[in-house]
Amino acid sequence: MAGSVKAHADATGAGAIPWLLLAAKSDGPEGVLSKVSSVQRVNTSGGAAPTTGCAEATAGTVSRVAYTVASRMYVPK
């Protein structure tokens, strides 16, 4: 599945990733999601990149950021 941003809205909570409406296009074999035309990301909490930045001492380490999201998928009739 490939997507492109159709609309963007800032999240209501601090540190939350933005809400998005994505145009979706199947780019693989026929499957359960291949007819999805749009995906909406809403009700986000968390997920923003850490504000601590990067340093040579932490290069190559993994930073995990917790988040929750509700996703809606739309299929044309």
pLDDT in tens, 12-71: 999 999 999 999 988 889 999 999 999 999 999 999 988 877 889 888 888 889 999 999
pLDDT for 28: 87
Rounded distance between C-alpha atoms, residue 2 and residue 67, angstroms? 22
pLDDT for 42: 97
Amino acid at 43: N
pLDDT for 77: 85
